[in-house]
Structure formats: structure tokens, C-alpha cells
Amino acid sequence: MTTPTDRPSLAAGDPDLAPRRLAAIDLGSNSFHLLVANYRDDRLQVVARQGDKVQLAAGIDDDGRLNEDAMTRALDCLARFAPFLEDIAPGDLRVVGTNALRDADNSQDFIDRAEALLGTRIEIIAGREEARLIYLGAAHAVAEDGRRLIVDIGGGSTEFIIGEHFEPQALESLSMGCVTYTRRFFDGGEITEKRMRRAELAALSELANIRKPFQKLGWSDPVGSSGTIKAAAAVIAATGTSPEGVITRQGLADLRKRLLKCKRLDKVAMDGLKADRARVFPAGIAILGAIFEAFELEEMRYSDGALREGVLYDLAGRNSPEDSRLKTLANLERLYAVDARQADNVAATALALFAQVRKAWQLGEDQARFLEWASRLHEIGLAISHSQFHRHGAYLLEHSDLAGFSRPDQRQLAFLVRAHRRKFPLKEWQALPATERPAMSRLARLLRLAVILNHSRPEQPPEAPTLAAEGDAGLRLGLAAEESGLLLADLEQEAAYQQAAELTLILDAD
């Protein structure tokens, strides 16, 4: 096991020669994983790797809430991870949560406690975003060319991706995992033919919706990247019937028979299988068997690359021309026929206003990016209807699958678009996590002003008026005496909207 004291240091000498150190934490439904790596020349050099079977999904009660025992296990694990993060820059760390945290009704309670412990933001990612990141990690680990099918069986969901090189062509996340299927089909601890087949049939039912479209795309190389697939490959290899790292159809059938002979979950013990995975192994094999059956696979090989590696590669490309979020934004603008000139003008004005208050309001580069992105997307709802288009745009941003964006990212963009006109949406603002509210309120007010200042849809963005922050809730906007009456009327209405939300906008005309 790697410890904080035996981590290698950054390269000495010229800082330009030192690799960038990145870290990712994957809050999975079965296991939590930490990966720390140096990044240089599009390669990861692993510095530290940690994992713990937290089994978060097993702690979701019948009422859909994470119980205290599961939260305690998870927080204890994160406390063990924390020393590995001491030399990681804030922008070089990303913590992502998957199916269990997507599903639990009280996941925000855990997130608040975990963020306080780690001192960093935790992001819940949607299923297809999880699939995209898994593919990115696996594709870097698999050197060969060709179209691949990537499968990742997690604790609460299973992701399926078809892609070539580093570009996914089909992404799906299905609600079946080794922890949730253990609770559903092996809850009494017995392993029987009936229970195993029920689990397989449930998985086949989930797979029915994607089987034909995936088979139509086709692939030449089935690859698995999960703990279940790694364990299956190790157990089969221990029998000497298959090459190391390869799962064959016959090997999987023999493994299924061996599990049935165990009869109980607490009796599962095989060469190559770690004790902490034994209890959820039969459910994982049922899912894997269904995948082989549905896709008519003869074999699958295991690859080390998975979600956490994908998170690091994605993180390395952020705020560069390769940033996946920029590609997503450009696709949204094309899809919803955004007026590019107006989007550019509003973004330019918003950023000019931002620059004047960023120090007083303690806003950083991340907030500037979100303000620019919301400015560019504030009119996407017009593609649905002019009436209430700010609501339509917010819905699209919150509920679409947006590559590169986590659920909190989408929630923030959706709020800014929702808040850019008419009454300030106090109900939606109060629904945000408390840690997000101050910045989101401030960015929304800047966006509202930028939209008003460009109301006439000019050829070029107008020169931004002077803007000063007065405390947490006050803004003072300086206006030239020759400003049009229409603009003044719009700003006076905006001042009234802000006053109704217990905010202050003072208009100073020369």
C-alpha cells in the first residue's frame, strides 16, 4: 500500500519541466477509489492508488436514504484519503460521485459533510457522463486501434460504451450493479439456480433496450474495466483454463457452476477472489453472464483504465482547446440555433461587469467561466417557445446529458439561465446548496444587467457602465445622462425586481 510518506516528489529544477500532479476520487456505489498521478505528454504516471469497499449502495434504506452507518464508512474512508491530497492544487483535484449518490434522496447531506472534510467540491455525475469518463480512461489504457465495446459493472449501475480512439459513439448507463443486485436477488444470503437466473433475467431486461442499437454499431474488441470483471478474470485465470486477463464464455459458465456449489454468500471463496468482494461477486457474475448472453460474446478482456483514470485525463484537458465542456457548449449553440452575435455581446458585457466587482465579491476564474457560458446559452429556450423561454432553457440545461459537466455544473448553469430575466427566482435559489447560493446570486445579477444592456440587440456590445459592489447585497450602476429612456425604464424595473428579492440596485445618472 502506498502511504503519504513514500510518494515521489515533483521533478526538481526548472518548474516548466515538472509534471502536473493530478488527483481523482471516485465515490462509487461499491468502492471508493483515489488516484494520484503526474501528468506529462498525455500520460499518467501513478503516484498513489488507494481503494476501499465502502459499499455505499448497501446503505440506502427502503425509503431511499443513505443511513448513518454508510455515511460513517464513507467519511472514514475519505479521512484516510485526505493526506494524499496535501500537495494537490485545488484545480488539479476532482471528486465525483456515481449511482448511489445519484439515487439517494439525502445525498446532499453526505456531500456537505464530505466537502467539509476534504475541503473541496464533490460532483455527482450523470450515468452517461460516467460512461464517457470510463471510456476515456479505458481508451488510454488500450493501445490497439479499432472499435471497442467497453463494459464497466459497478455497485449500482453498469456502463456501456462503443467508441474508436478517444471518441465514444454510443453511451449508456443501466440501473444494475453488483451491490444493488445482491440486495435484490441474494438478500437472504442463499445462492441458488432460481436466484441466479432471476438476476440474469433482470439484467437481460435492462439490456433489451440497448442490445440491437449496440449490435448494429458493432465492435471488434470487448473490454471490461470494473472490479467485477477484474475479479472474474483473476478467478478464471487461477484455474488455468484461460489466459490472464481474459474471460471466456466457457470460463464464465464454469465459474457460475462453482458459485452455485458455494450455496451461500458467506461461503464464497476462490483462488484469485479477494475476500472483500466475495459477497457481491455472484450478483456481478449474473450481470456479466447476461451481458455475454445479450451481446453474444465469446470472450472479454480486462483493462486497468476506468472512471478515475478518465477523470484525470478529462481534468488535464480542462481550460484548454481540448476541454470537453467547450465542445458541448458549441454543440448546444448549434442545436438550438443560438443567435451567436447576441450571445457574444451579452458575454462580453457580463465579463466587463464581472471584472469590476470580482475582487469585492471574491469571485474567481471558475465563476467567470460559468458566467460566460450562461451568457452564451441564456437564449436556448427560444428554440421551444418565446413565452417563458428562460424556464425552458433552464430545463434543457438541467436535464440534458452534457458531456464534461457534472450535475452540480448543470444545476448552476440552469439556475443562471432561469434567473436571467423577470422576477428573481428566490424559490430556485433557495433550493441550491447553501455553499453555492452567494456566488450564484451574484453571477445571476451580473447576467441580468448584461442582458438588459444588450436589450436592443446591437451590432457590438455597448461600453459597460461603471459598477460597484456595496456589501453582499448592494450594487451601484453608473449611467451616462444621455442613456435612452427605454434602457432607463428597463433598469428601473430591474431595480424593483431586485428589491423584491431583498437585493439593492442603485442607479446613478450623471
**Helices within 400-465 (DSSP H only):** 407-418, 426-431, 437-453
Distance of CA 136 to CAs 64, 66, 95, 301, Å? 31, 30, 17, 17
Average pLDDT value for residue range 385-404: 97
Quote the cell numbers at residue 470. 456595496
Alpha carbons 144 and 444: distance in angstroms, whole number: 47
Q: Nearest-5° angle of CA 267, CA 268, CA 274?
A: 130
Q: Could you give the CA distance from residue 332 to residue 316 in angstroms, rounded to a whole number?
A: 23
Position 7 pLDDT exceeds 80: no
Condensed to tens digits (0 to 9), the pLDDT of residues 209-262 reads 999 999 999 999 899 998 999 999 999 999 988 888 999 999 999 999 999 999
Helix axes 365-377, 324-335, angle to 10 degrees: 20
Amino acid making up residue 64? G
HSE-CB for 469 with a 13 A CA cutoff: 19
CA gap 77, 285 in Å, rounded: 27
* pLDDT tens per residue, range 71-88: 999 999 999 999 999 999
Task: Write b or e for each residue in 76-100: b if 16 or more Cβ atoms lie within 10 A of its Cβ, otherwise e.
Answer: ebbeebeebbeeeeeebbbbbbbbb
Q: Report the pLDDT averaged over residues 187-207.
A: 97
CB-based contacts of 431-438 (< 8 A; 24+ apart in sequence)? 433/108, 433/111, 433/112, 433/408, 434/112, 435/112, 435/115, 436/408, 436/412, 438/472
Collapsed DSSP state (helix, strand, coil) of residue 41:
coil
- What are the structural domains of the chain? 4-124 (3.30.420.40), 128-306 (3.30.420.150), 319-509 (1.10.3210.10)
Is residue 365 predicted with pLDDT exceeding 70? Answer: yes
Residue 100 scores a pLDDT above 70 = yes
pLDDT above 70 covers a percentage of the chain that reads 96
Give residue 143's pLDDT: 67
Burial label, 456 (beta-carbon count in 10 A; 0-12, 13-18, 19+)? exposed
List 504's β-bridge partners, or say none: 474
- Residue 296, helix vs strand vs coil: coil
Dihedral pair phi/psi, residue 248, rounded to 5°: -105, 160
Assigned C-alpha cell, 490: 428597463
